[in-house]
A and B are shown apart, each in its own frame.
Chain A
Amino acid sequence: MSRTLLLKLNTRPIRAITLALFLLSGIIFPNLARASFLNESFDYYGAGDLAGQGGWFLYDAQGMLYSGQLLATNWYNPPLALRLNSVSGGQGNVIEAQNYYATGSLSFWFYFSGNNLGGSDVGQFGLGESASTSGNINLNILCSEVPPVCDTANIRAYVGSWNTFFTGVKKETWNYFNIDFASPDNFRLTLNGDTTDWTSTPCSFNYIHSLYFWTAYFGTGSFNFWIDNIGGIAEIPPPPIPESCEDLELLERLVCEIKNTMAGAFLPSQDKINDLKNDLNIIQQKFPFNYLNEASTFFTDLKAGTEATSTISFKLLDKPGVVNFSIWEKSVNLAGSTQTFADILKGLFSGFVLFAFIVWAIGFGKRIFK
């Protein structure tokens, strides 16, 4: 790039526009691959019933699914399993979105440690139309070594029969897992950046009906299993099916044919969109985007956590007590409207904060054009 051109580009308006575009890209790009029906952030694992939640959700467990010794049984109820709503067999319906077709993806991080004995399941999850193995995909994370060692695990999927897709999954490290659906009968798996080929399944997916995680254990010993950042991405609507032009008049048929030709020449195919979406998902899990996502989730959760009012408890001479905020709920008639002391103070502090923000914004604007 010539020096003259660079000098011409180094003007204040150009710098301001460049900075504005950069700021916009910081907002747009992280959200590019996260088109979703519904985003929910749940601060506490196992807290509350998510009945009635439709569509995809983003769940951040921030914690341990299970730690300790398990008996030789399975189908653990919460909090030993992530189960939402009540369905027989201990599994839960998470997603009951209607008119939703299983083209999309589901991802989460998992981590396991400890000494899992007996070559047992470290963790297992499934999704599909029902709890039975015939109508869904069951995946499990299974110790790959002879007990009592469990330093690595295999990931298997039940698609009519158990197939092993990944081996040597290491313990005591966070692993990223993703499953893509290209059509109701095809899926592929991604583990830490390695992606399998598209695999057909005899299971018929019309929509993701159930999602459940549990720890199943058939031996003795103790281990820990974490699950975190469960996320889903809704499908991008497929390109419109070419319109039928047979029943149209000559001129309308010509316009229809031209429209179909243009659509076929310029619109992307669903496979390419899915491939791009999968690569963007993988980038989201790489530095620095995963760190930025964690920071973004931190602020979101912080805002949600501070919005709820709570009490301040204290202990004086071994006697517990709670700070009484009832005085702030007393109302007063101010300039014709009734307001509580809390609202008045909130308004006052909001004014101070906004004034300080305006002062900063003026200084920031001056620094941009400096």
Chain B
Amino acid sequence: MSVADILITIVIYLIETLLLPILPVSVGAFTISEFSSGLLAIKSNLIYGLSGIGFFMPVSLILNLVLLILFAEFSLMLFKMGVFIVNLVRGSGA
């Protein structure tokens, strides 16, 4: 067994004992199929609604930027959430 095999075995063990038993497939009343169906409906409506203006508006650019902004804002929110939780535990130092 190589060094890499040992490291991978440890990672696999951690994943199978800590992550996989805990993570659910769906969340309560908001199942993955409902989420998919909702997204499909939104997508169909958006494609239908944007189909006409796509001729002279950069819809692809707008969607890419909106996605980037959403991702950045969500990441910043998660980061601040983590800092808040850490401050709750250790105190904010104020």
| A→B interface (CB under 8 Å) | 1, 3, 6-7, 10, 15, 18-19, 22-23, 26, 62, 111, 174, 176, 192-193, 228, 264-269, 272-273, 275-276, 279-280, 282-283, 285-287, 290-291, 294-295, 298-299, 301-303, 305-312, 323, 325, 328, 341-342, 345-346, 349-350, 353-354, 357, 360, 364, 367-368
Contact = CB atoms under 8 A, between A and B. Distances in A.
Contacts of A282: 20
A111 B25 CA distance: 15
A368 B12 CA distance: 35
9 contacts: A19-B79, A22-B78, A192-B25, A283-B15, A286-B23, A294-B36, A302-B47, A310-B52, A311-B51
Contacts of B27: 287, 291
A17 to B, nearest CB: 11
Given A283-B20, A299-B67, A290 B32 contact: yes
A182 to B, nearest CB: 15
B58 A307 contact: no
B63 interface: yes
Given A268-B2, A345-B56, A193 B51 contact: no
Interface of B: 1-5, 8-9, 11-12, 15-16, 19-20, 23-27, 31-33, 35-36, 39-40, 42-43, 46-47, 50-52, 54-65, 67, 69, 71-73, 75-76, 78-79, 83, 86, 90-91, 93
In this complex, the member of A298, A328, A368 whose beta carbon has the largest number of chain B beta carbons within 10 angstroms is A298
A365 to B, nearest CB: 10
Q: 9 closest Cβ contacts across the A-B interface? A: A286-B23, A268-B4, A305-B47, A312-B52, A310-B51, A345-B56, A298-B39, A306-B59, A272-B8
A107 to B, nearest CB: 14
A356 B86 CA distance: 34
Contact of A368 (B42, B47, B64, B76): B76
Given A276-B8, A279-B15, A299 B63 contact: yes
A343 to B, nearest CB: 8
B55 to A, nearest CB: 5
B8 A302 contact: no
Contact of A303 (B4, B63, B79, B93): B63
Contacts of B59: 306-307
In this complex, the member of A1, A15, A266, A268 whose beta carbon has the largest number of chain B beta carbons within 10 angstroms is A268
A215 B24 CA distance: 30
A10 B27 CA distance: 34
A279 B10 CA distance: 13
B15 A290 contact: no
